Amino acid sequence: GLAENSPMKEPVGSAVEDGTISSSYSEKSESTLSMTVVGASGDLAKKKIFPALFALFYEDCLPEHFIVFGYARSKMTDEELRNMISKTLTCRIDKRENCGDKMEEFLQRCFYHSGQYGSEENFSELDKRLKEKEGGRIPKRLFYLSIPPNIFVDVVRCASRCASSADGWTRVIVEKPFGRDTESSAELTRCLKQYLTEDQIFRIDHYLGKELVENLSVLRFSNLVFEPLWSRNYIRNVQLIFSEDFGIEGRGGYFDHYGIIRDIMQNHLLQILALFAMEPPVSLDAEDIRNEKVKVLRSMRPLKIDDIVVGQYKGHSKGGKFYPAYIDDPTVPKDSITPTFAAAALFIDNARWDGVPFLMKAGKALHTTRAEIRVQFRHVPGNLYKRNFGTDLDKATNELVIRVQPNEAIYLKINNKVPGLGMRLDRSDLNLLYKARYPREIPDAYERLLLDAIEGERRLFIRSDELDAAWGIFTPLLKELEEKKISPELYPYGSRGPVGAHYLAAKHNVRWG
Ligand code: NDP
Ligand code: BG6
């Protein structure tokens, strides 16, 4: 269980690796964990970070001594911060349970400091308040940057100069976007590394914290039956699908500058692809896993314009209700050609995956909300039951589906005889439905990732060479789309997306699942 990994039992070693250890450090000294949420007044902090911290506290995963600070420009007292976050704390573990006492205990450890993001003076004040609460223990300081990217470097500069831990460790969690192309991402990395070592930077991709994404490696490497099939010899194509049934809803200021390819494909879907396709790592050690992911990413062909379809949602009336177009959003320019949908065919030029299309599809304002990996297997050679499938043999192939969300599941589509005297075949599922098998609620991705950052476990965070390889696949295409001002194909809000996605799939002999 999580409690076994409690950071309280963390060996001294992880403090040493950030290189900030002082000679006075002794194993006997007590340490304390100080977490500062920078941008505490924002949406992500309220919706995800504070609730995840509370869930960790509730599950006894936080050390005995810890404090949480909110930092932002908004003026708030400690009490006002507590009021604000108390509204989004939930007893996730057992909804029937009244965990009021636990909440109160947690809230009493939360404080707030108001300041500017680029002010060393304000960060020195924060440092002073942190020290007061740390009560002379050795501080382990974690900063969570839940702020727009243009102020990342300012905050890192001020935090590292004025509020880093003198004798424990200092780590910084950074939220995407990590730049908007190869150059800006490299520039961001270069600037962050003026103040931090790579070991101190935890680049978050919250999809890596999702239960079924974590499970991908377990499925592949701890079952005999999957790994032998995991190659071009048996797999016809792989599909990575992300869809949301709502639009941009006021986030246009951010979204219009990035678009769906940068928002979802270059990070969330590509990370899943890398885990799916990597060679077996030497061990489960973070560097071994990330080495294999980088290898896959570097074996991928940069995406070409012929292998992508872009779309944007338009207004649509349904059941007496009008669903607005992307460009109707007040935060979006009227003439925007930013894609809210994209479908792409990607290829990995290595021995395992030569010629296998990896199809990605990501879109906002579609007919459903889901995230899935679909693996379509090849035809059975000389299939004895060919006649039973008529002309459409594609329908008879096996398909493995890993449904990341909602309603987590892993199922394998197989052919089966319908019981009875005749010989009728049926498509059926071997189905592992999580909520039927595991009644306990699944932790939110942010809980796992925060705990990992506290423990210094880097496996689920993005290393800078990985990030660079990921941008390498998309940057030439993104430039071309923008230089040629390629207009997206419009699709109605709530539809299945542009038909172009079907032509793209057909070109590679694929039918979307
Ligand atoms: P917000 O836009 O809510 O910004 C967070 C805080 O930053 C605000 O409360 C505000 O605090 C401050 N801020 C906002 N704009 C500016 C500005 N132009 N200059 C200086 N400070 C500013 O962001 P979110 O909470 O939605 O997201 C935080 C980070 O996480 C972003 O990088 C985002 O891309 C990323 N992210 C968000 C997700 C989400 O679901 N919301 C999902 C995945 C990633 P104050 O005015 O009090 O200083
Ligand atoms: C974020 C994107 O990274 O992921 C959002 O910026 C998207 O546009 C979100 O809505 C989806 O995350 P989840 O966990 O709700 O599937």
Residue-wise pLDDT for 376-426, tens only, equals 999 999 888 888 877 777 778 999 999 999 999 999 999 999 999 998 898
Nearest to 255 by CA among 363, 151, 183: 363
| Ligand 2 atom nearest to CA at 251 | 8
Q: In the structure, what pLDDT confidence band is assigned to residue 302 with cuts at 50, 70 and 90?
A: very high
**Beta pairing class for 341-346 and 308-314:** antiparallel
For residue 39, the CA-to-ligand 1 centroid distance in Å is: 6
pTM: 0.93
For residue 264, the CA-to-ligand 1 centroid distance in Å is: 18
pLDDT at 91 over 90: no
User: Which residues are identified as catalytic?
Assistant: 268
Determine if ligand 1 sits within 6 Å of the CB of residue 37.
Answer: no
**Nearest ligand (C-alpha, residue 179):** 1
Q: Which tokens in the block code for residue 467?
A: 């990030």
**Beta pairing class for 235-243 and 358-363:** parallel
Determine if ligand 2 sits within 6 Å of the CB of residue 263.
Answer: yes
> Which has the higher per-residue pLDDT, 93 or 111?
111
* Alpha carbon 402 to its chain's center: 16
| Ligand 1 atom nearest to CA at 48 | 40
ipTM tops 0.85: yes
| Ligand 2 atom nearest to CA at 242 | 16
Instruction: Report the pLDDT value the prediction gives residue 2, as an integer from 0 to 100.
Output: 34
The beta-carbon contacts of 476-479 under 8 Å, at least 24 apart in sequence, are 476/302, 476/303, 477/261, 477/302, 477/303, 477/304, 477/305, 477/308, 478/180, 478/181, 478/261, 478/262, 479/181
Tell me which H or E stretch contains 286.
helix 286-298
For residue 254, the CA-to-ligand 1 centroid distance in Å is: 9
Pocket test residue of 175, 176, 244 for ligand 2, highest count of atoms within 8 A of CB? 244
Other C-beta atoms closer than 10 Å to the C-beta of 123 total 29
Determine if ligand 1 sits within 6 Å of the CB of residue 42.
Answer: yes
Share the mean pLDDT of the chain: 92
CA atoms within 13 Å, Cβ hemisphere of 493: 19
CA nearest ligand 2 atom 15, residue: 244
Q: Which tokens in the block code for residue 402?
A: 């890993």
For residue 472, the CA-to-ligand 2 centroid distance in Å is: 22
For residue 268, the CA-to-ligand 1 centroid distance in Å is: 19
What average pLDDT score do residues 115-119 get?
97
What percentage of the chain reaches a pLDDT higher than 70? 93
What average pLDDT score do residues 438-449 get?
93
The DSSP letter of residue 304 is: P
Determine if ligand 1 sits within 6 Å of the CB of residue 44.
Answer: yes
| Ligand 2 atom nearest to CA at 369 | 16
Q: In the structure, what pLDDT confidence band is assigned to residue 28 with cuts at 50, 70 and 90?
A: very low
Determine if ligand 1 sits within 6 Å of the CB of residue 39.
Answer: yes
Determine if ligand 1 sits within 6 Å of the CB of residue 176.
Answer: yes
What average pLDDT score do residues 18-36 get?
63
CB 66 within 8 A of CB 32: yes
Angle at alpha carbon of residue 453, lines to 469 and 210, rounded to 5°? 70
Q: Which tokens in the block code for residue 241?
A: 């699908």
Helix (H, G, I), strand (E, B) or coil at 3: helix
